[in-house]
Structure 1
């Protein structure tokens, strides 16, 4: 009988392969249907030619790229450990599936314009299935790659936040005790020599780290509240994997608006949405991920959303623009401007 690890591996690999191949086939079939309408409907030659080309493309990249890399990752573990900071599986999905799917989604709208002869005769909104399927497949592969290291059975509660909270409290307590001891204990000659009284007062003051006091978090030891307060890393992987791409999903939803896809604004929306998806290639705890999120998503989205609002009106939510602006400004301020002397004074909250 097959072991649980083998069944888990087979299920994950089948799901990843389906997420890798299905979006391209679906989008290409829609392109074939739209292109066939421009030809003689009684002769489906062009339709089957495009469908067969899509099947050949998926089969080629599967046999030449997907399967060999998957085998290497599973067999050559020493090579897999040398891959630091990025994920080959997600890179293959972004380059070989998402990029062709977005390209042919744009081609479908261009073909429909040629069918109707005018952009005014196009439908009021594009179908949501292709874009949702592409993003769902990409998020599915991301979830599988994150949850692969965890067991699917048994309890796996998250102690990361509790460990960080306890460690922070210990550090704050230690710093507080040291400050109080320095204030209470009389100044001895040795202590004066160690502190260097001749040093400016500001130098001594900077060594005292202010205590960070935040709101008290509740803890429940019994009853229904304890059951409701349970946290599991595996469940949070699903939650945050979808929330992470909500901004890109909203931007692609705007692409289905008639005022966008009937004009040339469709191209920058799709291009910058695809650029924002490049972040998924990097590992979840990569130190560069925060800066890449600003450079690849929030900063470009500021200009795209602002331009759309100025030219076409509020077809994209103002809340999305405010989110991009505030995230960009806060990142620049707290990471770079606070290093300058005028912003370098640390102020503890009085509450």
Structure 2
């Protein structure tokens, strides 16, 4: 009888291999079709030559890089545990799959531009969204699978370790403070204190907490079931939310006013640079900093330039999001340490 752990491993590896190999094959096939459409000869020799080269590239990278690294990570667990702060699987995918896919996507736009300029009667149509969306979707799927490996797929998620640590710390602080107070006020020996469970969300630091609306704590079973938050479901949610800005920017590249001009290059270059932060582990301390430096700040100048040059082909809301996220990061993490902004204030 095959165990559930083995089935999970096989399914995950098959999904990762599909997400690693399919985008390159699809993008190169679109490139081959566009190149064949430019030729006047009915022969499809060039088409099949390009497609066969893509198959050979995927096969060689799989056999020479993907499979050996996967086997090494699975067999040599002590080496895998020494890797800190970055993820080898995501690095292989970003370098060997996403980079060639974006390159051939730009090459496809060049072919379409040349074909449109040679035939003035052809109307300029937007590029199909499916190939690029497939590349980013496969990259997000790889990210989700790598995050889900440490979680079981069946059963209810247990109480997180962080919640237990917060609760234990609060109990110890309360016990020590009560014992000191009783010893100073009377000679009676301090009684054992009752342990009180406090949600970890209400505990940030032992300092003074800002006042605000109290968070609800549902005790009824129906509301407790509805309000339950599972980490495994949040992985799917935030994996797509975190990359929505890059997806929107790549979608702009398919606009006719962008891919028929030189703007196609900075759009794809900065979109690819924003993907590099996926190489880091989810809890890497540098992840937020690199998110601002690699995505928010470059997208501010890119979106502002696109709006000034081509109009609102990219949403103004995206520009506001980039500005506010970048400003809030640098202000609350760095400017508040200066003497001018160091005063602690609340609204109430």
Matched residue, 1:285: 283
The whole-number CA distance in structure 2 between the counterparts of 1:111 and 1:14 is 34
Matched residue, 1:327: 325
Describe the superposition over 1:186-216 as per-residue Cα deviations: whole angstroms up to 9, x where unpaired: 9xxxxxxxxxxxxxxxxxxxxx953322321
Write the mapping of 1:1-351 to structure 2, written as runs, cut at 5 A: 1-117=1-117, 121=122, 123-156=124-157, 159=160, 209-347=207-345, 349-351=346-348
Kept after mapping to 1: 8 A contact 2:116/2:124 = no
TM-score, normalised by the number of residues in structure 2: 0.86
Change (3 A) 1:331 1:346: same
Describe the superposition over 1:293-341 as per-residue Cα deviations: whole angstroms up to 9, x where unpaired: 0110000000000000111111111110011001111111111111111
Describe the superposition over 1:11-31 as per-residue Cα deviations: whole angstroms up to 9, x where unpaired: 000000000000000000000
Kept after mapping to 2: 8 A contact 1:27/1:105 = yes
The whole-number CA distance in structure 2 between the counterparts of 1:153 and 1:114 is 53
May I ask how many residue pairs the two structures share in their alignment?
323
Change (3 A) 1:129 1:41: farther
The whole-number CA distance in structure 2 between the counterparts of 1:101 and 1:211 is 49
Give the ranges of 4+ consecutive aligned residues of structure 1 lying more than 3 Å apart after TM superposition. Answer: 118-123, 157-175, 208-211
Gaps of 5+ in 1: 187-207
The whole-number CA distance in structure 1 between the counterparts of 2:15 and 2:230 is 23
Kept after mapping to 2: 8 A contact 1:157/1:232 = no
The whole-number CA distance in structure 1 between the counterparts of 2:152 and 2:64 is 31
Secondary structure at the counterpart of residue 117 of structure 1: helix
Kept after mapping to 2: 8 A contact 1:101/1:134 = yes
The whole-number CA distance in structure 2 between the counterparts of 1:44 and 1:315 is 37
Secondary structure at the counterpart of residue 156 of structure 2: coil
Kept after mapping to 2: 8 A contact 1:126/1:257 = yes
Change (3 A) 1:172 1:116: farther
Secondary structure at the counterpart of residue 214 of structure 1: coil
The whole-number CA distance in structure 2 between the counterparts of 1:106 and 1:158 is 47
The whole-number CA distance in structure 2 between the counterparts of 1:331 and 1:119 is 49
Kept after mapping to 2: 8 A contact 1:158/1:233 = no
The whole-number CA distance in structure 1 between the counterparts of 2:57 and 2:119 is 31
The whole-number CA distance in structure 1 between the counterparts of 2:241 and 2:152 is 23
Change (3 A) 1:119 1:282: farther
Secondary structure at the counterpart of residue 302 of structure 1: helix
Secondary structure at the counterpart of residue 37 of structure 1: helix
